[in-house]
Structure 1
Amino acid sequence: MQDAARAACVSRELLQSWRCYPELRFSSKTLALNEQHTCVRDRKDREILSRIDSILRNRSGVWVKRLKFEFRFLRKVPTNYIDRWLEAATPGLEELTLELPRDGQVKYRFPCKLFSDEKGCSIQSLCLDACSFHPDIGSCNFRSLKRMHLSSVRINTEEIGSFPPNSLALEHLERWHCHEIASLKLPCTLRRLSFLRVGRCDTLQMTQSDAPCLSTFHYEGPILPLSFGDSLQLKDIKISVYPWFNLFNHARTVLPTVAPNLETLFLTSAYEVGTFSSSSWVPGKFLHLKYLELAIVGPKTQTGLYYDTCLWFLFSILFQHWKLSYCTYFIFHLSQ
C-alpha cells in the first residue's frame, strides 16, 4: 500500500512536471514511430492525429515556449487540425515549427492573422515547410522574430519584400525551394541580420542585401547578380552552383568587389570551361582571405582540366597576398 501511494505521488509529480514542460515536439521520433514509418502504414493517419489532439487538449491553457510540428512522415494533415492547434497556441510562444508532408502540392495557408496580436509579438523563431505564407500588411506581428526559415513555401516577391522590414530584430534568414520569388531585396533597416542562406529558388534572378551587419552568406543555385551594399562585415561566403558551371572565374572577379573583407570562401562548381592564365587576374583582391576551399564535380575524363583550373585559382590567390592560412581543393568524380 505504501509503495502504491509513493508511486501515485511520483506519477502526479511527473504529470505536473510534464504539463509545465515548455516544449512540445511532435515527430516520428517523439511519437515512437520508426524511421521506415511502418506504423503510419499500419495505422490510419487519423489515429496519430487524434493522439496529438488529445495531448494538446491536456495542455490547453498551459504555457508553452516551443511548439514543433514535424509531420513529413504523414501522408496528409487536414487543415482543420492545424488551424485548431495553432489557434490554441498560448501567448508567450517563442518558437514555432510547422513542417507538413511534401506531396508536391501546397495545400495549407499559414494563418497570419492568428499572430497579429500578442501571440505573434513573442515569437522569436519561425520555421515553415511545405505551406503557403502570405503576410498581408498588418496581418503579422512578428516584431521579436530573430530567426526565420522557409522551405518549399509559396510566397511571392512582393510578399517577401514587405515582410522582413516589419521584423527589425531578425538575425538569421533562410529561403529554400521558394519558387515564386523572382528577386530578394533586404533593406538597411534589418540592422541585426547577420546570416542569410538562399538556395534552389528556381525563379530567383537577383539577391540584394543592404543589411549593414550581414557577415555570412550561403547560396546554392545558378550564378546570378549579387549585391551587398556597403556590407563591410561580410566575411563568410559559401556558394554552390552544381550542376551549373564556371563559378570560379565569376567568383574571382565579382566577390572581391561585393565582399572586400572576405575571410572564408567555399566554392562548389561543375564544369569549369575557359582559358585561364596568370595575366587574367588583377592584384589586390581577396586581401583578407584566410580560408579557401574549392570543389569541382565532374566526370573522370575532365580530371586534367579540373586540376589545372583549381591550381590556377589557388595560385592566383596566393600570389596576391600572404594572409591565407588554409586552402584546399577537391575533385569529385561522377560515374559514367
Structure 2
Amino acid sequence: MKKYLRWVNSTLQMCKGQRLEKFRVCFDLNKFAQHEIDKWLEFAFSRKVQNLELDLNKGGEDTRDFDYCYAFPARLLGLVDPADSSSCTPHSNNLQIHSLVKQNFKSLKMLLLKSVNVTGEVLEFFLHNCPFLETVVVHGSGTLVNLEVVGPSLKLRHLEIWYCYYVESLKICDTNLITLRTTSGEGLLLKNVPMLVEVEILGTYTHILNDISSRLSCVISQLEVLTVHASLSLFDFSQEDLDRYNFPELTKLKKFVLTTFRPVCSWKEQSLLGCTSIIRAAPQLEEFELQLEARPFTSNRECKKAIKCPLHHLKVVKLWGFYNGTFHLELVRYFLENAVALEKIIIDPTCPLLTRVPLDLEEIKHQQTARNLAKLQLQCEVPPTMELVIL
C-alpha cells in the first residue's frame, strides 16, 4: 500500500492538465490512507473531473470491514464532517472550499465509490450541485443510513446502492431515473419514477412475490428488466400455492433474472418450477435467466409439471449453476412445452459464487460431471431446430 501511495503521489505531480475526463483509483486501500486519498480528491476536483471512481475493495472481495473503510471527507464539500466532533458549523475556510467545490463540480458526470464510507448528506450534495451527474454507484458503505433522490431537476439516470447494510431509508421520488440496483429493498420507497425500466433488488426473507408486489408496486407495469436476488423466495411454498397466487402482471417485462441460494439439504425435494408463476405474469418476456447458487446434490424423485401457459415471445433461457438431472430437466421441459418461439437454451454448470475464485480439482470434477449429465439428458429432449449450448 505504501508503495502504491508513493507512486500515485509522484504521478500526480507530473500532471499539468487543467481538466480531467476520468480519475480512477482501484487498489486495496483503507482508512490508514485517509490523508493521501483526501489530497487526490482535491487534485481531481480542482481539475473539474468528469468521472470519479474510488474502488478500494480488498482483494476482489465485495466489501471490507466498515470500521476500516476510507471515509469520504465531508469537509471537502464545506459540510460538517461527522468524524470531527469539534465541528458544529462550517468554519470560514470550509465556506471558501464549499464555494470553490461547487464551481469545480459542475462537470461531474459519474461517481463510483466502493468500500468508501459516505453519508447521505454527501451524496445529496453531489446530486443537487452537479447538473450533469447521471450515474452514482456506492458499494460497501457503513455510514450510509438515509438517502433521498428527489426532484425533477436531477440529471441522475443510474443509481446503485449495494452492500450498504445500515441503510434504513432509500427514497426515490419525482425523478427520471432509468435503472436502479440496490440491496436495500426493505427501506425502498418509490414514487413517480416514470422512466424507471430496469431494477435489480435483493429480496427480503419474506415471500418474494409479496416482496416485489409491495416494494415495486408503482413501477411493476413499466419494468422491462427485473433481477431479483432471494435466499428463500419461491421455493418455500408448494406449487399449488404458487399457482393460486395472483401475481400482478408485468406487461412490459422483457428480461427476468432470478438468483437464489439455499442449503444443499433443502433443495432435494424442492422444484424450480416455482419461478414459472412470475414467468406466466410476463406475457412479453423474451429472456429468462436462473442463477442457482448451490453445491452439488442428487435427487431421484420424478419430474413434476407446472401449469401450461403459452409463452409467445420467450427466445432465450439460461440456467446457471450446478446441473442436477431431475431438478433442471422438469424446468427445461416446461419451456419446451410452452415457449413456442424458443430459440436457445444455455446450460452453465458454473456456480455464481465461484466465478471469481480459482477452482479446485473437486469443483472442476463436479462441473464436468454436470456437463456430461446435461448433454446426456437434454440432447434427446431439445429439438434439432433449437440451439442447445452447454458451457
TM-score, normalised with respect to structure 2? 0.57
User: Aligned residues: percent identity?
Assistant: 18
Q: 1:62 is aligned with what amino acid?
A: Q
Q: How does 1:184-223 map to 2 (within 5 A)?
A: 185=188, 187-198=190-201, 206=211, 208-209=215-216, 210=218, 214-223=223-232
SS in 2 for 1:322: coil
Rate the CA distance shift 1:49–1:170 in 2: closer, same or farther, 3 A: same
Of residues 9, 24, 27, the one that matches 1:71 is 27
Matched-pair contact (CA < 8 Å) for 2:17–2:47: no
Of residues 24, 27, 38, the one that matches 1:83 is 38
Residue 292 (1) aligns with residue 317 (2): yes
Matched-pair contact (CA < 8 Å) for 1:169–1:192: no
Residue 248 (1) aligns with residue 272 (2): yes
What corresponds to 2:165 in structure 1?
Answer: 179
Rate the CA distance shift 1:188–1:130 in 2: closer, same or farther, 3 A: same
Of residues 140, 145, 148, the one that matches 1:152 is 140
Residue 281 (1) aligns with residue 326 (2): no
SS in 2 for 1:241: strand
Q: How does 1:122-141 map to 2 (within 5 A)?
A: 122-136=107-121, 138-140=124-126, 141=128
Matched-pair contact (CA < 8 Å) for 2:119–2:143: yes
Unaligned 5+ segments in structure 2 are 59-63, 78-97, 167-183, 235-246, 351-361, 367-391
Which structure carries more helix by proportion? 2
CA distance in 1, matches of 2:298, 2:230: 16
Matched-pair contact (CA < 8 Å) for 1:107–1:131: yes
What corresponds to 2:328 in structure 1?
Answer: 310
What corresponds to 2:253 in structure 1?
Answer: 234
SS in 2 for 1:329: strand
Q: 1:241 is aligned with what amino acid?
A: T
TM-score, normalised with respect to structure 1? 0.64
CA distance in 1, matches of 2:229, 2:273: 17
Q: 2:133 is aligned with what amino acid?
A: L
What corresponds to 1:109 in structure 2?
Answer: 71
Matched-pair contact (CA < 8 Å) for 2:134–2:157: yes
Q: 1:63 is aligned with what amino acid?
A: R
Q: How does 1:7-22 map to 2 (within 5 A)?
A: none
Q: 1:158 is aligned with what amino acid?
A: N
Q: 1:187 is aligned with what amino acid?
A: L
What corresponds to 2:381 in structure 1?
Answer: none
Rate the CA distance shift 1:67–1:123 in 2: closer, same or farther, 3 A: same
* Offset, 1:232: 4.0
Q: 2:146 is aligned with what amino acid?
A: E
SS in 2 for 1:262: coil
* Offset, 1:66: 0.8
* Offset, 1:201: 9.6
* Offset, 1:106: 3.9
CA distance in 1, matches of 2:230, 2:154: 28
Deviations 1:50-99 (A, max 9, x none): 33234334446711111111122x57652122222223313642211001
Aligned residues: 276
What is the root-mean-square deviation of aligned Cα atoms in Å?
Answer: 4.1
Matched-pair contact (CA < 8 Å) for 2:30–2:70: no
* Offset, 1:321: 3.9
Unaligned 5+ segments in structure 1 are 1-39, 299-305
* Offset, 1:230: 7.6
Residue 51 (1) aligns with residue 7 (2): yes
Matched-pair contact (CA < 8 Å) for 2:32–2:70: no
CA distance in 2, matches of 1:216, 1:53: 43
Matched-pair contact (CA < 8 Å) for 2:114–2:140: yes
Matched-pair contact (CA < 8 Å) for 2:24–2:54: yes
What corresponds to 2:87 in structure 1?
Answer: none
CA distance in 2, matches of 1:151, 1:201: 19
Matched-pair contact (CA < 8 Å) for 1:134–1:155: yes
* Offset, 1:323: 1.3
